[in-house]
Amino acid sequence: MKTKVFSIQGEEIKNIELNDDVFGREVNDSVIYYAIRNELANKRVGTASTKGRSEVRGSGAKPYRQKGTGRARAGHRRSPLWVGGGTVFGPKPRDYSYTIPKKMKRAAMKAILSLKVKEDRLRVVEDFTVESGKTRELVSLLRNLVKEERTVLILKDDDQMVKQAGRNIPWLTMLSYNRLRAHDLFYGKNLLVLETAAAELNEFYGGK
């Protein structure tokens, strides 16, 4: 499939060929869901913790005699039934992360890229950099291409000057073509792909 390439002034300058297997697939909602769910689970810290009856402060002595008081029997003050007692089945630190098959993850990335093309939210832009590394310069450049809303910029490599310029832009996320994240791609309102990055995506995800 062919798509237009835009200059940094926002003007159409030429066409580029995109791999149909990457940008023109049927959108599979299931693999997108599983990929996003996996990323969110892997980000969880899992430090929530409560104390059980063996961990809270309190005497282990029997509070009062077993019979004759008219009260319910009690063995110690750390019981979950008592104020200040332990928690029953409370959370403990755990690892929520897990892995999904590589083929599923790749299929999810292709599905999201294809979805953005169908929604007309993907735009290929000529390669550029920000020599000064200043946020102001990158913002003025992006305003020619998109509105100031949740935007993902896919780079051809780890361009440190672009990343330096863009790290203070709250509505911009920058990703390298070989380290995409399903959550950011799916929820991005606009997807900007550098021309070289588009060619790399064709090769990186195509035919696998």
Which domains are assigned to the chain? 2-30+101-205 (3.40.1370.10)
As given in the structure block, the two tokens for residue 187 are 């929820």
Token representation of residue 53: 């009856």
CB atoms within 10 A of CB 152: 23
pLDDT score of 158: 77
The Cα 100–Cα 98 span in angstroms is 7
CB 181, CB 154: distance < 8 Å: no
pTM: 0.84
Q: 196 is written with which tokens?
A: 């070289």
Whether residue 49 is predicted with pLDDT greater than 70 in this model: the reply is yes
* Residue 208 pLDDT: 55
Residue 88 has a pLDDT of 96
What is the C-alpha separation between 134 and 128, in angstroms, rounded? 14
Position 156 confidence tier, pLDDT thresholds 50, 70, 90 = confident
Q: What confidence category does residue 157 fall into, taking pLDDT thresholds of 50, 70 and 90?
A: confident
Cite the DSSP H helix spans in 25-181. 29-43, 102-118, 135-142, 160-166
Per-residue pLDDT band for 142 (boundaries 50, 70, 90) equals very high
